[in-house]
Amino acid sequence: MNLAWKEIKKNKTKFIILGSIIFLVSFLTFIISGLSNGLSQDNAALIKDLPEGQFYMNADADATYNLSRIDASMQDKAMNGQKDAAALSIQMGFVNDADDKQHSIAFVTSTDSKLFESVEKGEIVLDRSLEDKGLKVGDTLTNNQFSGEFTVKAFVDQKKYSHAPVAYINMENYKEIYRVNEMQLVFVPGKEKALEIEGLQSFSNKDFLNTIPSYSAEQMSLNMIVWFLVVISGMLFAIFFYMMNVQKIGLYGILKAIGVKTSSLFGMMWSQMIVITLIALTFSVALSQGFTMIAPAGMPFSLTLQTTVQLSIVFIIIGFIGATLSGIQIKKVEPLQAIQQGEV
Amino acid sequence: MTVFTIDEVKKTFTNGEIDEQVLKGINLSLQEGEITALVGASGSGKSTILTIAAGLQRASDGRVLFEGKNMTDMNQEQIRKIRASEFGFVFQSAHLVPFLTVEEQLMLMLDVSETTMKKKEQKAEVAKILKLVEMNHRSKAYPASLSGGEKQRVAIARAIIHKPKMLFADEPTASLDSKRSKDVMLLIRDLTKTLNITTLMVTHDEEMLSYADHVITMKDGLILQS
Protein backbone atom coordinates (compact mmCIF):
# COMPACT_ATOMS: atom_id res chain seq x y z
CA MET A 1 0.00 0.00 0.00
CA ASN A 2 1.31 3.42 -0.90
CA LEU A 3 1.32 4.94 2.59
CA ALA A 4 3.57 7.83 1.47
CA TRP A 5 1.16 9.09 -1.18
CA LYS A 6 -1.88 8.59 1.05
CA GLU A 7 -0.28 10.73 3.75
CA ILE A 8 0.57 13.46 1.26
CA LYS A 9 -3.03 13.44 -0.02
CA LYS A 10 -4.49 13.65 3.49
CA ASN A 11 -2.04 16.28 4.79
CA LYS A 12 -1.80 18.52 1.73
CA THR A 13 -1.09 21.75 3.62
CA LYS A 14 1.92 20.35 5.47
CA PHE A 15 3.50 19.01 2.29
CA ILE A 16 2.63 22.12 0.25
CA ILE A 17 4.52 24.20 2.83
CA LEU A 18 7.58 21.95 2.55
CA GLY A 19 7.31 21.93 -1.26
CA SER A 20 7.01 25.73 -1.34
CA ILE A 21 10.15 26.14 0.76
CA ILE A 22 12.09 23.78 -1.51
CA PHE A 23 10.68 25.57 -4.56
CA LEU A 24 11.74 29.00 -3.26
CA VAL A 25 15.22 27.90 -2.22
CA SER A 26 15.86 26.01 -5.46
CA PHE A 27 14.46 28.87 -7.57
CA LEU A 28 16.72 31.34 -5.75
CA THR A 29 19.66 28.99 -6.28
CA PHE A 30 18.94 28.72 -10.01
CA ILE A 31 18.62 32.50 -10.36
CA ILE A 32 21.89 33.13 -8.50
CA SER A 33 23.56 30.39 -10.52
CA GLY A 34 22.24 32.10 -13.69
CA LEU A 35 23.66 35.42 -12.53
CA SER A 36 26.96 33.79 -11.64
CA ASN A 37 27.20 32.15 -15.07
CA GLY A 38 26.06 35.37 -16.72
CA LEU A 39 28.71 37.42 -14.94
CA SER A 40 31.29 34.77 -15.72
CA GLN A 41 30.37 34.97 -19.44
CA ASP A 42 30.38 38.76 -19.25
CA ASN A 43 33.80 38.68 -17.64
CA ALA A 44 35.53 36.06 -19.73
CA ALA A 45 33.44 34.65 -22.60
CA LEU A 46 36.45 35.23 -24.86
CA ILE A 47 38.46 32.71 -22.81
CA LYS A 48 35.62 30.41 -21.74
CA ASP A 49 34.55 29.76 -25.33
CA LEU A 50 38.02 28.54 -26.30
CA PRO A 51 38.62 24.78 -26.42
CA GLU A 52 40.64 23.13 -23.65
CA GLY A 53 44.32 23.95 -24.04
CA GLN A 54 47.31 25.70 -22.50
CA PHE A 55 48.04 29.40 -22.16
CA TYR A 56 51.68 30.42 -21.95
CA MET A 57 52.90 33.70 -20.53
CA ASN A 58 56.31 34.98 -19.59
CA ALA A 59 57.55 33.35 -16.39
CA ASP A 60 58.68 36.77 -15.14
CA ALA A 61 55.16 38.20 -15.48
CA ASP A 62 54.15 36.86 -12.05
CA ALA A 63 50.97 35.29 -13.54
CA THR A 64 49.76 38.71 -14.71
CA TYR A 65 49.17 38.62 -18.45
CA ASN A 66 49.39 42.43 -18.69
CA LEU A 67 53.03 42.22 -17.66
CA SER A 68 53.82 39.36 -20.00
CA ARG A 69 55.95 39.84 -23.12
CA ILE A 70 56.77 36.81 -25.26
CA ASP A 71 59.58 37.37 -27.70
CA ALA A 72 59.63 35.86 -31.20
CA SER A 73 61.93 32.93 -30.36
CA MET A 74 59.87 31.86 -27.35
CA GLN A 75 56.70 32.30 -29.39
CA ASP A 76 58.10 30.02 -32.12
CA LYS A 77 59.09 27.39 -29.57
CA ALA A 78 55.60 27.38 -28.02
CA MET A 79 53.75 27.35 -31.34
CA ASN A 80 56.08 25.07 -33.26
CA GLY A 81 54.00 22.39 -35.04
CA GLN A 82 50.93 23.04 -32.87
CA LYS A 83 47.79 23.15 -35.02
CA ASP A 84 45.57 26.20 -34.42
CA ALA A 85 48.02 27.65 -31.88
CA ALA A 86 47.93 31.45 -31.65
CA ALA A 87 49.95 34.24 -30.09
CA LEU A 88 47.60 36.89 -28.79
CA SER A 89 47.28 40.05 -26.75
CA ILE A 90 44.39 41.55 -24.86
CA GLN A 91 44.30 45.18 -23.72
CA MET A 92 41.48 47.27 -22.35
CA GLY A 93 40.84 50.43 -24.37
CA PHE A 94 38.19 52.49 -26.10
CA VAL A 95 37.03 53.62 -29.53
CA ASN A 96 35.13 56.71 -30.57
CA ASP A 97 32.26 56.55 -33.05
CA ALA A 98 31.28 59.14 -35.68
CA ASP A 99 29.43 61.17 -33.03
CA ASP A 100 32.61 61.09 -30.90
CA LYS A 101 30.86 58.87 -28.40
CA GLN A 102 33.35 56.73 -26.51
CA HIS A 103 32.87 52.95 -26.16
CA SER A 104 34.91 50.89 -23.72
CA ILE A 105 36.23 47.74 -25.34
CA ALA A 106 38.85 45.02 -24.95
CA PHE A 107 41.22 45.04 -27.94
CA VAL A 108 42.19 41.54 -28.97
CA THR A 109 44.71 40.66 -31.60
CA SER A 110 46.24 37.36 -32.60
CA THR A 111 48.30 35.52 -35.17
CA ASP A 112 46.31 33.60 -37.80
CA SER A 113 44.10 31.03 -36.08
CA LYS A 114 40.57 29.81 -36.57
CA LEU A 115 40.01 30.37 -32.85
CA PHE A 116 40.20 34.15 -33.23
CA GLU A 117 38.72 36.53 -35.81
CA SER A 118 41.05 37.26 -38.71
CA VAL A 119 41.10 41.03 -39.35
CA GLU A 120 42.82 43.10 -42.05
CA LYS A 121 44.62 46.37 -41.28
CA GLY A 122 42.14 49.17 -40.58
CA GLU A 123 39.27 46.74 -39.94
CA ILE A 124 37.59 45.92 -36.63
CA VAL A 125 35.25 43.09 -35.61
CA LEU A 126 33.06 43.88 -32.59
CA ASP A 127 30.98 42.05 -30.03
CA ARG A 128 27.30 42.23 -30.91
CA SER A 129 26.45 44.20 -27.75
CA LEU A 130 27.90 47.25 -29.54
CA GLU A 131 25.43 46.76 -32.37
CA ASP A 132 22.68 47.26 -29.76
CA LYS A 133 24.37 50.60 -28.91
CA GLY A 134 23.88 51.83 -32.47
CA LEU A 135 27.08 50.80 -34.25
CA LYS A 136 26.66 49.27 -37.71
CA VAL A 137 28.81 47.41 -40.25
CA GLY A 138 30.69 50.04 -42.26
CA ASP A 139 30.81 52.60 -39.43
CA THR A 140 34.11 54.38 -38.85
CA LEU A 141 35.75 54.28 -35.41
CA THR A 142 38.81 56.08 -34.09
CA ASN A 143 41.26 55.76 -31.23
CA ASN A 144 43.43 58.63 -30.05
CA GLN A 145 46.56 56.45 -30.10
CA PHE A 146 45.86 55.14 -33.62
CA SER A 147 46.82 57.20 -36.63
CA GLY A 148 44.23 55.69 -38.91
CA GLU A 149 40.56 54.73 -38.67
CA PHE A 150 38.83 51.44 -38.07
CA THR A 151 35.96 50.29 -40.27
CA VAL A 152 33.47 47.95 -38.63
CA LYS A 153 33.66 44.71 -40.64
CA ALA A 154 31.31 42.46 -38.67
CA PHE A 155 29.78 41.64 -35.31
CA VAL A 156 30.30 38.41 -33.39
CA ASP A 157 28.09 36.90 -30.70
CA GLN A 158 28.97 36.82 -27.04
CA LYS A 159 32.62 37.80 -27.06
CA LYS A 160 33.28 39.66 -23.79
CA TYR A 161 36.32 40.21 -21.66
CA SER A 162 36.46 41.88 -18.25
CA HIS A 163 32.80 42.98 -18.66
CA ALA A 164 33.70 44.85 -21.87
CA PRO A 165 32.84 43.94 -25.49
CA VAL A 166 35.76 42.48 -27.43
CA ALA A 167 37.15 44.32 -30.49
CA TYR A 168 39.32 42.19 -32.80
CA ILE A 169 41.95 44.27 -34.62
CA ASN A 170 44.91 43.51 -36.86
CA MET A 171 48.22 42.88 -35.12
CA GLU A 172 49.97 45.77 -36.89
CA ASN A 173 47.29 48.20 -35.70
CA TYR A 174 47.56 46.78 -32.18
CA LYS A 175 51.33 47.23 -32.16
CA GLU A 176 50.87 50.87 -33.16
CA ILE A 177 48.28 51.61 -30.49
CA TYR A 178 50.21 49.99 -27.64
CA ARG A 179 53.74 50.64 -28.90
CA VAL A 180 54.77 46.98 -28.50
CA ASN A 181 56.26 44.33 -30.73
CA GLU A 182 55.67 41.24 -28.61
CA MET A 183 52.47 39.38 -27.87
CA GLN A 184 51.43 38.74 -24.28
CA LEU A 185 50.21 35.16 -24.58
CA VAL A 186 50.41 31.98 -26.60
CA PHE A 187 47.42 29.66 -26.66
CA VAL A 188 47.87 26.03 -27.72
CA PRO A 189 44.61 24.08 -27.99
CA GLY A 190 44.54 20.39 -27.08
CA LYS A 191 44.22 18.22 -24.01
CA GLU A 192 47.87 17.16 -24.02
CA LYS A 193 50.12 18.00 -21.12
CA ALA A 194 51.70 21.46 -21.26
CA LEU A 195 55.16 21.67 -22.83
CA GLU A 196 58.01 22.73 -20.59
CA ILE A 197 59.41 25.83 -22.31
CA GLU A 198 62.19 27.73 -20.63
CA GLY A 199 61.12 31.24 -19.70
CA LEU A 200 57.41 30.52 -20.14
CA GLN A 201 54.81 29.52 -17.60
CA SER A 202 51.80 27.42 -18.67
CA PHE A 203 48.21 27.71 -17.45
CA SER A 204 45.15 25.56 -18.16
CA ASN A 205 42.05 27.51 -19.30
CA LYS A 206 40.67 27.35 -15.76
CA ASP A 207 43.95 28.49 -14.20
CA PHE A 208 44.24 31.29 -16.70
CA LEU A 209 40.71 32.50 -15.87
CA ASN A 210 41.77 32.77 -12.25
CA THR A 211 44.62 35.10 -13.21
CA ILE A 212 42.09 37.62 -14.51
CA PRO A 213 41.70 40.31 -11.84
CA SER A 214 38.18 40.23 -10.27
CA TYR A 215 37.16 37.01 -12.04
CA SER A 216 38.00 34.56 -9.26
CA ALA A 217 36.81 36.92 -6.50
CA GLU A 218 33.48 37.51 -8.27
CA GLN A 219 32.95 33.83 -9.04
CA MET A 220 33.98 32.64 -5.60
CA SER A 221 31.43 34.92 -3.91
CA LEU A 222 28.60 33.86 -6.20
CA ASN A 223 29.47 30.17 -6.10
CA MET A 224 29.63 30.36 -2.33
CA ILE A 225 26.07 31.76 -2.26
CA VAL A 226 24.90 28.97 -4.58
CA TRP A 227 26.45 26.23 -2.44
CA PHE A 228 25.23 27.86 0.76
CA LEU A 229 21.72 27.71 -0.64
CA VAL A 230 22.17 24.07 -1.60
CA VAL A 231 23.39 23.23 1.92
CA ILE A 232 20.56 25.28 3.46
CA SER A 233 18.01 23.34 1.42
CA GLY A 234 19.54 20.09 2.68
CA MET A 235 19.25 21.38 6.25
CA LEU A 236 15.67 22.44 5.60
CA PHE A 237 14.86 18.92 4.47
CA ALA A 238 16.54 17.49 7.55
CA ILE A 239 14.74 19.89 9.92
CA PHE A 240 11.34 19.52 8.28
CA PHE A 241 11.46 15.74 8.12
CA TYR A 242 12.84 15.67 11.67
CA MET A 243 9.83 17.65 12.88
CA MET A 244 7.44 15.46 10.92
CA ASN A 245 9.13 12.32 12.23
CA VAL A 246 8.95 13.58 15.82
CA GLN A 247 5.20 14.09 15.34
CA LYS A 248 4.91 10.58 13.92
CA ILE A 249 7.04 8.69 16.47
CA GLY A 250 3.88 7.17 17.98
CA LEU A 251 2.58 6.17 14.57
CA TYR A 252 5.90 4.60 13.59
CA GLY A 253 5.90 2.67 16.86
CA ILE A 254 2.42 1.27 16.23
CA LEU A 255 3.26 0.39 12.64
CA LYS A 256 6.38 -1.40 13.87
CA ALA A 257 4.33 -3.18 16.54
CA ILE A 258 1.92 -4.60 13.96
CA GLY A 259 4.86 -5.80 11.90
CA VAL A 260 5.71 -3.04 9.38
CA LYS A 261 9.39 -3.25 8.43
CA THR A 262 11.68 -0.35 9.39
CA SER A 263 12.89 -0.30 5.77
CA SER A 264 9.27 0.26 4.63
CA LEU A 265 9.04 3.29 6.95
CA PHE A 266 12.27 4.69 5.48
CA GLY A 267 10.88 3.95 2.01
CA MET A 268 7.76 5.93 2.92
CA MET A 269 9.85 8.93 4.00
CA TRP A 270 12.13 8.75 0.94
CA SER A 271 9.15 8.51 -1.43
CA GLN A 272 7.63 11.62 0.15
CA MET A 273 10.93 13.48 -0.10
CA ILE A 274 11.36 12.47 -3.78
CA VAL A 275 7.76 13.40 -4.72
CA ILE A 276 7.90 16.79 -2.99
CA THR A 277 11.37 17.61 -4.35
CA LEU A 278 10.51 16.62 -7.91
CA ILE A 279 7.33 18.69 -7.92
CA ALA A 280 9.11 21.71 -6.39
CA LEU A 281 12.06 21.37 -8.79
CA THR A 282 9.75 21.05 -11.81
CA PHE A 283 8.21 24.40 -10.93
CA SER A 284 11.52 26.12 -10.18
CA VAL A 285 13.25 24.72 -13.32
CA ALA A 286 10.30 25.84 -15.49
CA LEU A 287 10.19 29.27 -13.90
CA SER A 288 13.95 29.85 -14.02
CA GLN A 289 14.10 28.73 -17.67
CA GLY A 290 11.19 31.08 -18.35
CA PHE A 291 13.16 33.85 -16.65
CA THR A 292 16.10 33.32 -19.05
CA MET A 293 13.71 34.29 -21.86
CA ILE A 294 12.40 37.44 -20.21
CA ALA A 295 15.55 38.60 -18.40
CA PRO A 296 16.41 42.20 -19.37
CA ALA A 297 18.91 42.38 -22.24
CA GLY A 298 21.54 44.19 -20.17
CA MET A 299 21.37 41.71 -17.32
CA PRO A 300 24.27 39.24 -17.30
CA PHE A 301 22.20 36.07 -16.91
CA SER A 302 23.01 32.68 -18.34
CA LEU A 303 21.29 29.55 -17.12
CA THR A 304 21.54 26.47 -19.28
CA LEU A 305 19.22 23.50 -18.89
CA GLN A 306 22.31 21.40 -18.21
CA THR A 307 23.24 23.55 -15.19
CA THR A 308 19.66 23.41 -13.86
CA VAL A 309 19.54 19.63 -14.24
CA GLN A 310 22.93 19.27 -12.50
CA LEU A 311 21.82 21.49 -9.61
CA SER A 312 18.50 19.61 -9.42
CA ILE A 313 20.38 16.33 -9.02
CA VAL A 314 22.44 17.91 -6.24
CA PHE A 315 19.20 19.08 -4.57
CA ILE A 316 17.76 15.55 -4.71
CA ILE A 317 20.96 14.06 -3.25
CA ILE A 318 21.15 16.70 -0.50
CA GLY A 319 17.42 16.26 0.26
CA PHE A 320 17.91 12.51 0.45
CA ILE A 321 20.82 12.89 2.88
CA GLY A 322 18.88 15.43 4.99
CA ALA A 323 15.78 13.25 5.16
CA THR A 324 17.82 10.12 5.91
CA LEU A 325 19.72 11.78 8.76
CA SER A 326 16.44 12.90 10.31
CA GLY A 327 15.06 9.40 9.76
CA ILE A 328 17.57 7.82 12.13
CA GLN A 329 14.89 8.35 14.79
CA ILE A 330 12.65 5.91 12.93
CA LYS A 331 15.20 3.18 13.48
CA LYS A 332 15.34 4.02 17.19
CA VAL A 333 11.56 3.98 17.76
CA GLU A 334 10.50 1.29 20.21
CA PRO A 335 6.97 -0.02 19.53
CA LEU A 336 6.37 -0.47 23.23
CA GLN A 337 7.21 3.15 24.00
CA ALA A 338 4.75 4.32 21.35
CA ILE A 339 1.98 2.10 22.67
CA GLN A 340 2.48 3.41 26.19
CA GLN A 341 2.34 7.03 24.95
CA GLY A 342 -1.33 6.66 24.00
CA GLU A 343 -3.21 7.80 20.89
CA VAL A 344 -1.16 8.89 17.85
CA MET B 1 -4.21 -27.69 22.61
CA THR B 2 -1.48 -25.45 24.04
CA VAL B 3 -0.56 -22.72 21.57
CA PHE B 4 1.55 -20.48 23.74
CA THR B 5 3.76 -21.21 26.71
CA ILE B 6 5.51 -18.82 29.06
CA ASP B 7 8.18 -20.69 30.98
CA GLU B 8 9.89 -19.20 34.06
CA VAL B 9 9.95 -15.73 32.51
CA LYS B 10 11.72 -13.04 34.52
CA LYS B 11 12.17 -9.38 33.75
CA THR B 12 14.48 -6.96 35.47
CA PHE B 13 14.63 -3.23 34.72
CA THR B 14 17.74 -1.29 35.60
CA ASN B 15 17.14 2.23 36.84
CA GLY B 16 20.50 3.86 37.46
CA GLU B 17 22.25 1.60 39.93
CA ILE B 18 19.04 -0.03 41.10
CA ASP B 19 17.80 -3.29 39.54
CA GLU B 20 14.05 -3.78 39.83
CA GLN B 21 12.68 -7.26 39.14
CA VAL B 22 9.11 -6.83 37.85
CA LEU B 23 8.57 -10.46 36.81
CA LYS B 24 9.90 -13.09 39.17
CA GLY B 25 9.37 -16.31 37.22
CA ILE B 26 6.05 -16.53 35.39
CA ASN B 27 4.66 -19.81 34.04
CA LEU B 28 1.62 -19.74 31.81
CA SER B 29 0.02 -21.91 29.12
CA LEU B 30 -2.59 -20.56 26.70
CA GLN B 31 -5.05 -22.94 25.05
CA GLU B 32 -6.28 -22.61 21.48
CA GLY B 33 -9.48 -20.59 21.11
CA GLU B 34 -9.58 -19.49 24.74
CA ILE B 35 -9.47 -16.07 26.35
CA THR B 36 -7.08 -15.67 29.25
CA ALA B 37 -7.39 -12.50 31.30
CA LEU B 38 -4.54 -11.12 33.39
CA VAL B 39 -5.64 -9.00 36.33
CA GLY B 40 -3.85 -7.30 39.16
CA ALA B 41 -2.95 -3.98 40.67
CA SER B 42 -0.82 -1.45 38.88
CA GLY B 43 2.83 -2.56 38.93
CA SER B 44 1.93 -6.22 39.30
CA GLY B 45 3.66 -6.98 35.98
CA LYS B 46 0.59 -7.93 33.91
CA SER B 47 1.31 -5.51 31.03
CA THR B 48 4.99 -6.49 31.06
CA ILE B 49 4.17 -10.17 30.63
CA LEU B 50 1.74 -9.33 27.81
CA THR B 51 4.33 -7.25 25.92
CA ILE B 52 7.01 -9.93 26.38
CA ALA B 53 4.60 -12.57 25.07
CA ALA B 54 3.74 -10.34 22.12
CA GLY B 55 7.42 -9.97 21.18
CA LEU B 56 7.44 -6.24 21.93
CA GLN B 57 10.19 -6.58 24.52
CA ARG B 58 12.62 -9.27 25.60
CA ALA B 59 12.54 -11.32 28.79
CA SER B 60 15.61 -11.14 31.05
CA ASP B 61 15.34 -14.87 31.62
CA GLY B 62 13.07 -17.79 30.76
CA ARG B 63 11.44 -18.94 27.54
CA VAL B 64 8.45 -17.86 25.44
CA LEU B 65 7.21 -20.65 23.17
CA PHE B 66 4.78 -20.04 20.33
CA GLU B 67 3.62 -23.26 18.67
CA GLY B 68 6.69 -24.94 20.13
CA LYS B 69 9.16 -22.38 18.71
CA ASN B 70 11.29 -20.53 21.24
CA MET B 71 10.80 -16.81 20.56
CA THR B 72 13.55 -15.85 23.01
CA ASP B 73 16.11 -17.39 20.61
CA MET B 74 14.77 -15.47 17.60
CA ASN B 75 16.21 -12.30 16.12
CA GLN B 76 14.22 -9.05 15.66
CA GLU B 77 13.31 -9.84 12.05
CA GLN B 78 11.98 -13.31 12.90
CA ILE B 79 9.89 -11.82 15.72
CA ARG B 80 8.61 -9.06 13.40
CA LYS B 81 7.45 -11.68 10.90
CA ILE B 82 5.54 -13.54 13.63
CA ARG B 83 3.99 -10.25 14.82
CA ALA B 84 2.96 -9.41 11.27
CA SER B 85 1.41 -12.73 10.31
CA GLU B 86 0.52 -14.67 13.47
CA PHE B 87 -0.31 -12.02 16.07
CA GLY B 88 -3.02 -9.40 16.35
CA PHE B 89 -2.93 -6.42 18.71
CA VAL B 90 -5.60 -4.35 20.41
CA PHE B 91 -4.26 -1.55 22.57
CA GLN B 92 -5.81 0.70 25.21
CA SER B 93 -6.06 3.40 22.51
CA ALA B 94 -7.09 2.38 19.03
CA HIS B 95 -3.83 3.65 17.48
CA LEU B 96 -5.26 3.87 13.98
CA VAL B 97 -3.22 5.42 11.17
CA PRO B 98 -4.67 8.96 10.92
CA PHE B 99 -4.35 9.32 7.14
CA LEU B 100 -5.97 6.00 6.21
CA THR B 101 -9.68 5.29 5.89
CA VAL B 102 -11.22 2.45 7.89
CA GLU B 103 -11.03 0.20 4.84
CA GLU B 104 -7.38 1.14 4.19
CA GLN B 105 -6.39 0.38 7.82
CA LEU B 106 -7.43 -3.22 7.21
CA MET B 107 -5.87 -3.39 3.75
CA LEU B 108 -2.60 -2.19 5.31
CA MET B 109 -2.68 -5.03 7.84
CA LEU B 110 -3.22 -7.56 5.04
CA ASP B 111 -0.25 -6.02 3.19
CA VAL B 112 1.94 -6.20 6.30
CA SER B 113 1.02 -9.85 6.89
CA GLU B 114 2.13 -10.58 3.30
CA THR B 115 -1.16 -12.24 2.47
CA THR B 116 -1.36 -14.36 -0.66
CA MET B 117 -4.89 -13.08 -1.32
CA LYS B 118 -5.48 -11.15 -4.55
CA LYS B 119 -6.64 -7.51 -4.32
CA LYS B 120 -10.26 -8.46 -5.06
CA GLU B 121 -10.23 -11.15 -2.37
CA GLN B 122 -8.63 -8.71 0.07
CA LYS B 123 -11.42 -6.18 -0.52
CA ALA B 124 -14.03 -8.90 0.01
CA GLU B 125 -12.31 -9.98 3.24
CA VAL B 126 -12.17 -6.38 4.47
CA ALA B 127 -15.89 -5.96 3.76
CA LYS B 128 -16.65 -9.21 5.58
CA ILE B 129 -14.67 -8.27 8.71
CA LEU B 130 -16.09 -4.74 8.76
CA LYS B 131 -19.57 -6.25 8.65
CA LEU B 132 -18.59 -8.53 11.51
CA VAL B 133 -17.62 -5.55 13.67
CA GLU B 134 -20.58 -3.53 12.35
CA MET B 135 -18.42 -0.86 10.80
CA ASN B 136 -19.12 -1.53 7.13
CA HIS B 137 -21.16 1.68 6.87
CA ARG B 138 -18.04 3.71 7.86
CA SER B 139 -15.54 2.02 5.55
CA LYS B 140 -14.55 5.28 3.85
CA ALA B 141 -14.30 7.31 7.06
CA TYR B 142 -11.04 8.60 8.51
CA PRO B 143 -10.21 7.95 12.22
CA ALA B 144 -10.75 11.62 13.14
CA SER B 145 -14.46 11.29 12.32
CA LEU B 146 -15.01 8.12 14.38
CA SER B 147 -16.21 7.88 17.99
CA GLY B 148 -14.04 6.14 20.61
CA GLY B 149 -16.11 2.95 20.38
CA GLU B 150 -16.01 2.95 16.59
CA LYS B 151 -12.23 3.41 16.61
CA GLN B 152 -11.82 0.45 18.95
CA ARG B 153 -14.04 -1.69 16.69
CA VAL B 154 -11.83 -0.80 13.74
CA ALA B 155 -8.74 -1.60 15.83
CA ILE B 156 -10.24 -5.03 16.62
CA ALA B 157 -11.06 -5.58 12.94
CA ARG B 158 -7.45 -4.65 12.07
CA ALA B 159 -6.18 -7.09 14.70
CA ILE B 160 -8.04 -10.07 13.23
CA ILE B 161 -8.27 -9.33 9.48
CA HIS B 162 -5.15 -11.45 8.74
CA LYS B 163 -6.54 -14.38 10.78
CA PRO B 164 -3.87 -14.38 13.51
CA LYS B 165 -3.40 -17.33 15.82
CA MET B 166 -2.88 -15.07 18.83
CA LEU B 167 -4.64 -11.88 19.90
CA PHE B 168 -3.00 -9.63 22.51
CA ALA B 169 -5.31 -7.08 24.08
CA ASP B 170 -3.89 -4.53 26.52
CA GLU B 171 -6.80 -2.99 28.42
CA PRO B 172 -8.94 -2.81 25.27
CA THR B 173 -11.87 -1.22 27.10
CA ALA B 174 -9.98 1.27 29.26
CA SER B 175 -10.89 4.28 27.15
CA LEU B 176 -14.56 3.33 26.71
CA ASP B 177 -17.71 3.81 28.78
CA SER B 178 -19.33 0.75 30.34
CA LYS B 179 -21.83 0.10 27.54
CA ARG B 180 -19.23 0.35 24.83
CA SER B 181 -16.81 -1.73 26.95
CA LYS B 182 -19.35 -4.56 27.07
CA ASP B 183 -19.94 -4.31 23.32
CA VAL B 184 -16.22 -4.50 22.62
CA MET B 185 -15.69 -7.45 24.96
CA LEU B 186 -18.63 -9.30 23.41
CA LEU B 187 -17.10 -8.66 20.03
CA ILE B 188 -13.66 -9.95 21.11
CA ARG B 189 -15.23 -13.03 22.67
CA ASP B 190 -17.42 -13.80 19.64
CA LEU B 191 -14.58 -13.29 17.17
CA THR B 192 -12.04 -15.38 19.11
CA LYS B 193 -14.57 -18.21 19.37
CA THR B 194 -15.68 -17.95 15.74
CA LEU B 195 -12.14 -17.66 14.34
CA ASN B 196 -10.52 -19.95 16.96
CA ILE B 197 -8.06 -17.28 18.10
CA THR B 198 -6.13 -17.63 21.36
CA THR B 199 -6.41 -14.41 23.33
CA LEU B 200 -4.29 -12.97 26.13
CA MET B 201 -5.88 -9.89 27.63
CA VAL B 202 -4.86 -7.47 30.35
CA THR B 203 -7.63 -5.69 32.21
CA HIS B 204 -8.26 -4.02 35.52
CA ASP B 205 -12.00 -3.91 34.95
CA GLU B 206 -13.54 -6.77 36.95
CA GLU B 207 -16.75 -6.63 34.92
CA MET B 208 -14.82 -7.70 31.84
CA LEU B 209 -13.57 -10.90 33.51
CA SER B 210 -16.86 -12.67 32.85
CA TYR B 211 -15.96 -12.82 29.17
CA ALA B 212 -12.69 -14.71 29.84
CA ASP B 213 -12.24 -18.50 29.98
CA HIS B 214 -9.39 -18.17 32.47
CA VAL B 215 -8.53 -15.40 34.89
CA ILE B 216 -5.01 -15.09 36.23
CA THR B 217 -4.32 -12.73 39.09
CA MET B 218 -0.87 -11.25 39.43
CA LYS B 219 0.83 -9.51 42.31
CA ASP B 220 4.37 -8.18 42.65
CA GLY B 221 5.63 -9.98 39.56
CA LEU B 222 4.20 -13.35 40.46
CA ILE B 223 1.04 -15.29 39.60
CA LEU B 224 -1.08 -15.24 42.68
CA GLN B 225 -4.05 -17.24 41.51
CA SER B 226 -4.90 -19.12 38.34
Domain residues of chain A, as ranges?
3-43+216-340, 53-190
pLDDT at A173 over 60: yes
Per-residue pLDDT reduced to its tens digit, A323-332: 888 888 888 8
Which of A7, A339, A342 is facing B99, going by the closest CB pair? A7
Per-residue pLDDT reduced to its tens digit, B156-176: 999 999 999 999 999 888 877
Average pLDDT over residues B186-190: 87
Confirm if A70 and A60 have CB atoms less than 8 A apart.
no
Confirm if A245 and A326 have CB atoms less than 8 A apart.
yes
Which of these ranges, A74-88, A93-107, B127-141, has the smallest mean pLDDT? Answer: A74-88
Contact B99 A9 (CB under 8 A): yes
User: How many Å apart are CA B80 and CA B100, to the nearest integer?
Assistant: 22
A51 DSSP assignment: P
Task: Give residue A83's pLDDT.
Answer: 79
Task: Give residue B192's pLDDT.
Answer: 87
Give contacts of A255 with chain B, Cβ < 8 Å.
97
- CB-based contact (8 Å) between B86 and chain A? no
| Angle, vertex CA A80, rays to CA A78 and CA A82, nearest 5 | 90
Per-residue pLDDT reduced to its tens digit, B40-57: 988 889 989 999 999 999
Of the pLDDT bands very low, low, confident and very high (cuts 50, 70, 90), residue A342 is low
Task: Give residue B37's pLDDT.
Answer: 94
Which of these ranges, A157-171, A206-220, B50-64, has the smallest mean pLDDT? Answer: A206-220
Of the pLDDT bands very low, low, confident and very high (cuts 50, 70, 90), residue A319 is confident
Contact B95 A10 (CB under 8 A): no
Q: Which of B56, B8, B12 is nearest to B200 (CA)?
A: B56
Contact A6 B109 (CB under 8 A): no
Confirm if B4 and B14 have CB atoms less than 8 A apart.
no
Of the pLDDT bands very low, low, confident and very high (cuts 50, 70, 90), residue A249 is confident
Q: Compare all CA atoms of chain A with the CA of B81 and give the residue at the minimum distance.
A: A259
The gap between the terminal CA atoms of chain A, to the nearest Å, is 20
Q: Which of A12, A248, A339 to mutate to probe the B interface, most B CBs <10 Å? A: A339
Contact B80 A261 (CB under 8 A): yes
Q: Could you give the domains of chain B?
A: 2-225 (3.40.50.300)
Task: Give residue A341's pLDDT.
Answer: 66
Q: What is the ipTM of this complex?
A: 0.85
Task: Give residue B28's pLDDT.
Answer: 93
What percent of chain A has a predicted confidence (pLDDT) above 90? 51
How many residue pairs bridge chain A and chain B with CB atoms within 8 Å of each other? Answer: 66
